[in-house]
Structure 1
Amino acid sequence: MRSFNLLLGFAAVSLLALSADGNQFTNSQKSENEIQLEDPALYVDHPTLSAINDVTPWQKNFLTCTLCTAIVSPVLDYMKDIKYTKMVMGFMGALCMELWYGQETCKNIIQNFAFGYSLYGFANTLKVDFICGDVFKTCPTTGLKTAASYATAVLAGKSADDVDNDVLQETYNTVMSGSGNTYKVLHLTDIHVDYNYVAGSTTECGELICCQAKHGEVEPLAETYGNPNCDTPADALDKMLASIAASHTPDLILITGALVSRDLSLTQPDAPPSLLSTLSKIAAVFPATQTYVALSGWEFGPQQAQLFPTVLVDGVSSDHLTTLIGKVSIGAPYMNATSIAEAKMYGYYSIVKLANSGTATALERVMLIVLNTQACNTFNLGLLKEKSDAGGQLNWLQIRLAQAKTDSMHVFIIGHIPPGSPQCNSQWSKRYHAIIEKYQGIIRFQAFGNPEGRDGFKVQYPSTGNLENPFGVIHIGGAMGTYQMNPMARLYIMDSMQNIPLYVQKLTFDLDFWNQNVGVSWLYNLKTPTVTDLGPWTIDAYANEMLTDSTLAEEYYEQAIRNFDSPGCDDSCAKAMYCQIMSMSLDQEIDCTGSLEVKKWAMFALQKLENPWV
């Protein structure tokens, strides 16, 4: 009942939050360096309510539009009162405690939320014209294109070779029948190194992470190589990297963000030095391996706030992104001058041709696209002032993919938050999938991290909703951090001719053994279970089989969560994993599972409020 009341409360607060004054901030003029939209029809701005009424006979809308406006306007005015803001903060605190965070952690979370709420409000969705036009549809809509109409426009130029959505799977069918040359790609993600970790400090502190000197020395105490309630000790990272290097020599390392600690007491300037320290550790172990890095929200500090465009506003500075990219270019010195300049604008960049490395002579035919998923991060408060394609990233992605297709290149795409996962805005995810569908013939590998730390896959399906012809696979790496799970890395064995992953080794470390012994133990070192290849049709069939094969579901679950004490996987667990693989947006996942989980519904409501891109 408490959860149900909180859910109702959140829904009420979400509706009442329509009170924020969307006009309190003015966007700065676009600089000459910003990405220009090649098709403005895909990104229609809101006209004002007065402009709509100027061209619409008032009597046509009298009973609907006028009534909605009359009701909503005073509600918005009333809810601007400071008492309402305090009520929102109080409710958020109660919701935070309901989700089992400690009091100190919740205090910091609420402070971060209050910062973003007061700075940006819900600048685009919380307006009378949007509420009455696009939400309740009593007034004329603002003309903003839906995800479906966006997909239709994008896919109008889909190649005849890609119409059947079978290019990637047919490539697998051809490659798996032979025995060509291979190379190795190491995928690291969500390491979350805590340089303040102290062995012998308490592991139960009531905060998001523990095991620091400030938490005291009350039992139970932190061990040398990590604890489920704590972020990753630097010594543990050193040991994991050395263990991987002893067994494997990768030709390419892809790092998909979340390298810094989740300590909510840290500030934004604390992130760049920590980022550089971690990248330097990786470079020291693999000095000859080209390495590329995608950023996550945590690299922007506990607030996870990044503005598009990046301008100086109350301490959230474009200087921070410039500093981050500077550290990346030092710690992983393989970006060229063009990609560095590109990354300093919005955090995303491309490498037009990767360098050959060891056995990977085919890499010169690969374009690497590094996304900044801050553009879809539900917790990025900087998105509250955005109307559509933050930083022009999706438009830029289309331009890069078109270039790659013209040049007959293969494409790798990496980023932190997997499109379609709960933390990635549904509206952004659907548009991303439409773009990938259009260019599926050249996209050979997509690798992302996971804010929840779980290892897994996502299958991509046509925008028409046809589940019989999946066209792509998103590979989701499990966290290399020690928080709540045993840490892991993914090692892909790639085909040198087609640049597709043939299979993946999941290198999972047994922390219990490490903390009790001097040596190293692998908990898992397995190929992908029970699948013949990593093609979309194969992963689709695998997901469907989990619904009826409890042994298969249990095996997938064990490798996904790598828990210290796995509770097992029942029918509802199998269904949840199936839905995670098959869903391309949060709303699809909720529909698939029939979930009443407070956290997912809260994120769904926040996504609707923060982004009018419907």
Structure 2
Amino acid sequence: MVNIVQLTTGLLAASGLAKRADNSSHQIQVPDIGNEALLEWGFQEAQKIFNTSASNCTKCQQGINLGKYITLKAPTVTPNLMVKLCNFYKWQDDCDSYQGASITRGNQGKHLAQVFTLMDAFGLDGQALCNGFAPLTCDRVQVPVPDLSSWWPEKPKNPKKIESSYNETFNVLHISDFHLDLRYTPGQEAWCDDYMCCTVESHNEAAIAAGLNRTVLPAQKLGSYHCDSPEALVEDSMKSVGAMSLARDFEFGLFTGDMVSHDLEDWLSFAHSYQSEEECYYLMKKYMGDIPVYPTFGNHDSYPYGQVAQNSSGFAGDFSWNAELSAKMWKDFGWINETTEAQAEHTYGSFAVTTKRGLRVISLDSNLWYSGNYYNFWNITDPDPSGLFHWLVDELLLCEKLGQKAWIMAHIPAQDLGATGWNSEVFRQVIRRFSPHVIAATFFGHTHADQFNLFYEKDNVWTEESALAVGWITQSVTPVDLYNPAWRYYEVDTKTFEIMDSRNYYSPLNETYDYDLAKSKNHTVANNYTVAVYEPQTPRHLTWRWEYSARDSYDLNGTWPKDAPLNATFWHRAAKAILENPEQNQLYWDHYYRKSPYTPNECDQECLLDAFCSFVTSSLDERFACLQSKNMTQL
């Protein structure tokens, strides 16, 4: 499968061969010639440097520098130069699908070129970009930990404590990651070579080469495990949520992002993204009625994919359409008011609202710490080039002053491997400063799995006493990859706004298939290619079933007080049990995949380490260090 990281690796490596060493200055004198001639000039420069003995890191940084000065001279030339180099050196077989025709729609190449103009190519910026998108070039950067003490007064030592309501609760929906695929086509290949499967372009080349004259797995009407959601799946999911909202009297809902599919760049467009977002918002409104839903953007909820520019970059106007479109719909649906609409339009779609009970819900656009966003790789020693974190801190300081509790919601968890280390460290410091006396809970999506992570008071001190806050990472509706669709709601204390329980529902997608995934025989065709032949079955409708209560599942011995919230201490103990008790470990993976037919039934040492590091770390750098140490401290 070809992806944007692989492609950009080739492009950066190629363009990184383009500048001759100049020890006196990094500035390049770009000739004042027409664009076609300039494209050829840049191409020749690349070939001149191709065989130099400089390190791969230096070549990559020089390539950024070349792109910077060509872009400053002629902005449209650099993307086309990257395409030309990619094709010439055969870095990928589909350069045009990512950087060719897409560029005319303002796609990835344009934005990478714009970021070149902002960067210190030979400093930490260039090193970070090369490491992130051309990993065989530069080492990971070590950005100095920022001192944020000037952002806030000292944390109160004895803040006023809000007493629990002692099991008086209300209910809140949490749903995420629809990934609506407008091109999903039943009957097409559901086990293909390149994402996204279940479309008319989907093929399994190995099967075709072996002479198989049918699909390996035909896409099913209501969804398939290796594909994004057809409209029928998203609508049925929201229909089930709507029915539960009436039965359980949801006061509001959280949607933690990702409406647009994982489609290839060649099939994404502004119109496709716009339509996907409109349809998803409409379905939420249709089935939630007058119940407000507070959304946030996922990394797919932008065009081009994953990109958003900070106001300080000068390029934010390329992306203002998204915040304007969404904020208007949120206001028209009655989810936010006009004042909040105006706020969201000027804070990248981020906003804050106060619920009828007095809880402050703060929604953040995590694309501003997403590692796939090129705009997060310039001026990386500045802890807040977007201004988003200062805005968040101002909100939390006001809550602290008023004695008000807050929830924070975003798409990408701060310790996720898709985050940027320098931004996630800032987020972690904010959580530490305001938890637990202000921040009652944080909520995320993105991973598609049912997960959680903990925030501790100090680095690498993973003890029950230092457990400070928990990140609730909810399941996806999309089955990608190998999950059953799912969603949850929370029982919330009416005074402290802490989570008392999460109640989870799922739909066994395999029961909607017209073949039985549990009953198959292997069939060998030409070239010893083996394919499974499944027995037919009568497909059922999507059935949404009770899955589990977090309190019941992870309080192994029933020792957690019934009137105590599922706080960081609870989840620290849960993590310990998952890592040490085989039955609890298997239960965790059953929940992780929502009892999918593809749920693993064992977890080796590497698997345990990965789970451990995902539980206890709260920034990307801490997670990398944890994985590299291969040392699981006893919790």
- Report TM bin, short chain: 0.7 to 0.9
Alignment of 1:79-228 (within 5 A): 80=66, 89=86, 107-108=97-98, 114-121=109-116, 123-127=118-122, 148-154=145-151, 157-161=154-158, 175=164, 179-215=166-202, 218-219=214-215, 220-228=217-225
Shift of 1:445: 1.6
Question: What is the aligned-residue identity percentage?
Answer: 16
Q: Which runs of 5+ in 1 are unaligned?
A: 1-5, 25-67, 97-102, 136-143, 356-362, 597-614
1:526/1:73 Cα in 2 relative to 1: closer, same or farther (>3 Å)? closer
Match of 1:316 among 315, 318, 321: 318
Partner of 1:407: 402
Deviation at 1:287, TM superposition (A): 0.3
Aligned position for 1:141: none
1:261-288 C-alpha deviation (Å, 9 max, x unpaired): 2222111232222212111112111102
The CA distance in 2 between the partners of 1:273 and 1:77, in whole Å, is 37
* Counterpart pick for 2:593 among 561, 565, 585: 561
Corresponding residue for 1:454? 449
C-alpha distance in structure 1 between counterparts of 2:270 and 2:421, whole Å: 27
Whose RCO is larger (CA < 8 A, sep 6+)? 1
| Residue 552 (structure 1) aligned to one of 584, 589, 601 | 584
In the alignment, is residue 428 of structure 1 matched against residue 423 of structure 2?
Answer: yes
Residue pair 1:458, 1:583 contacting (<8 A) in 2 also = yes
Q: Look up the match of 1:512.
A: 510
Q: What is the aligned partner in structure 1 of residue 280 from structure 2? A: 278
2:311 is paired with a residue whose SS is coil
Q: Is it true that 1:377 corresponds to 2:370 in the alignment? A: yes
The aligned length equals 507
* Structure 1 residue 201: Cα displacement: 2.5
Corresponding position of 1:76: 62
Residues 405 and 119 (structure 1), Cα distance of their counterparts in 2 relative to 1, 3 Å cut? same
Q: CA RMSD in A?
A: 4.1
- CA offsets, 1:519-556, max 9 Å, x none? 61527244352234521122112212333212211211
Q: Distance in 2 between matches of 1:191 and 1:400?
A: 29
CA-CA distance at 1:508 after TM superposition: 1.7
CA distance in 2, matches of 1:273, 1:75: 38
Distance 1:77 1:367, change over 3 A: closer
How far did residue 182 of structure 1 move? 0.9
Residue 18 to residue 255, structure 1, CA distance change in 2 (3 Å):
farther
Q: Shift of residue 17 of structure 1?
A: 8.7
Paired position in structure 1 for 2:494: 496
Matches within 5 A, 1:534-545: 534-545=566-577
Task: Go from structure 1 to structure 2 and tell me whether the alpha carbon gap of 1:425 and 1:22 turns closer, same or farther (over 3 Å shift).
Answer: farther
* Alpha-carbon spacing, 1:233–1:157, altered in 2? closer, same or farther (3 Å): same
Compared with structure 1, are the counterparts of its residues 80 and 519 closer, same or farther at alpha carbon in structure 2 (3 Å cutoff)? closer
Greater share of helix: 1
Distance (whole Å) between structure 1 residues aligned to residue 95 and residue 583 of structure 2: 38
Q: 5+ unaligned residues in a row in structure 2: which ranges?
A: 1-5, 29-53, 68-77, 131-140, 204-212, 514-538, 631-635
In structure 2, give the amino acid aligned to 1:446.
Answer: T
Shift of 1:218: 4.6
Aligned equivalents of 2:542, 2:577: Cα separation in 1? 38
Is 2:240 the counterpart of 1:243?
A: yes
1:18–1:127 contact (8 Å) kept in structure 2: no
- How has the CA–CA distance of structure 1 residues 386 and 22 changed in structure 2, closer, same or farther, with 3 Å as cutoff? farther
Aligned counterparts of 1:486 and 1:74: Cα–Cα separation in 2: 41
8 Å Cα contact 1:257-1:449 kept in structure 2: yes
Does 2:354 match 1:353? yes
Match of 2:624 among 584, 590, 593: 590
Counterpart position of 1:53: none
Amino acid in structure 1 at the alignment position of 2:156: S
AA in 1 matched with 2:570: T
Deviations 1:227-256 (A, max 9, x none): 122110111122222223334432110101
- 1:413 deviates by 0.8
When structure 1 is superposed on structure 2, of 342-351 and 429-438 the one drifting more is 342-351
